Amino acid sequence: MIFSKGQRLTPLEMLAQLVAFDTESSKSNLPLIAFVESYLSSWDVPFIRVPNTTGDKAALYATIGPQDRGGIVLSGHTDVVPVTGQAWTSDPFTLRIENGRAYGRGAVDMKAFDALALALVPDFLAANLKTPINIMLSYDEETTCLGVVDTIRRMGHDLPVPKAVIIGEPTLLEVVDAHKSVVTFVTTVHGFEAHSSKPYLGASAVMAAAELMSELNRIADEMMERGDKSGRFDPPYTTVHVGVVAGGTARNIMAKECTFHWEFRGLPDLDPQEIPARLDRFANEVVLKRMNRFGEFGRIDTQLEVAVPGLAPEPGSTAEALALKLVGKNRTQTVPFGTEAGHFQAAGIPTVVCGPGSINQAHQPDEYITLEQLDAGEAFMRRLAAFCTQN
């Protein structure tokens, strides 16, 4: 789409444009970024593009208002989860309006928030802001949450440090000040093949992996017993889970290799090194000793896949106070899913999660956001503009 100077789009029109880009995490988001750049250029809004190392994806950071000070960042991701195998009743990349809902992949998670921020650019410009409003669009949130990191590193260098960040994940416009971490691993056990009737000639990777998974089960039980001192999370404890297991070639062959994928979702106060360190200690002190009692047959490798930091409460922070004011609430909430918020918080930037729509509609066939929630999100943006005009 080629924009004429000062061309406006309604939030719904902008959402339709964004949904039309197939930005599944395995694909490039550059066509969407180029579209947004064209739109911002038509309004003379300055922006920077922050590409990834391979150059096939990019984040975008735009500033409306003063360029010499930190502002309020509206942060949203551009990538979406796959549609393959899902039973959609219409094209997932064509926005469909029906029965008070807007259907499409990413409609609620989270292109609606992106669309609102972009559609309100003319209003932000007209407001003569004292505090700038920054729009940040990222990539790879659905896979690694690392698409914000390179831009965050520039804050305090060639970008001003923001006063506050609002991550627009769907929370029904409740203000979320905490969520768990999401840390995933792949553990590969290497054994040595031998006839199962003579186990002293080898070591079974499957049997060793079973011991490791049993230890993760014990750790999971302990985490459940430890519980959540804040009483705010559902479930009220750190969870540990093994999702995929593969290994062995035949019943009567001692398995050469076994791999399992596992994760923990940690409460904000959990030391992220505790669980992997405990598994590593058990692997060395128990499992490897058993594997190698007849010879140097076995080894165990655990690789970190993804580490999404949790978001810890910061009562009274700039971000919390602002978001609560904008939504007219006096209490914060937690959510069970991970976001990019922890990366901002780790950089010392006050951050909350607050966006239109419900996470219950995300990642499903016929994903949707209600038009009522879209309207509520627009009102939220307008209140933000009024705040940034006065402060």
Residues annotated as catalytic are 79, 141
* SS3 of 132-201: CEEEEEECCCCCCCCCCHHHHHHECCCECCCCEEEECCCCCCCCEEEECCEEEEEEEEECECCECCCHHH
CA 130 to each of CA 61, 109, 388: distance values in angstroms, whole numbers, following the listed order: 19, 30, 6
Amino acid (one-letter) located at 205:
A
Residue 136 to residue 148: CA distance in whole angstroms: 8
Q: Beta 333-335 vs 176-179: how paired, if at all?
A: parallel
Nearest to 110 by CA among 151, 73, 139: 139
Nearest to 171 by CA among 376, 388, 310, 385: 376
Hey, is 9 helix, strand or coil?
coil
Cα 173 to the center of its chain, rounded Å: 17
Is 193:202 a contact under the CB 8 Å cutoff? Answer: yes
CB contact set of 343 (below 8 Å; sequence gap of 6+): 145, 146, 148, 149, 152, 309
Q: Which two tokens stand for residue 224?
A: 């459940």
Query: Beta partners for 239?
Result: 265
Q: Beta 257-265 vs 239-247: how paired, if at all?
A: antiparallel
Amino acid (one-letter) located at 320:
E
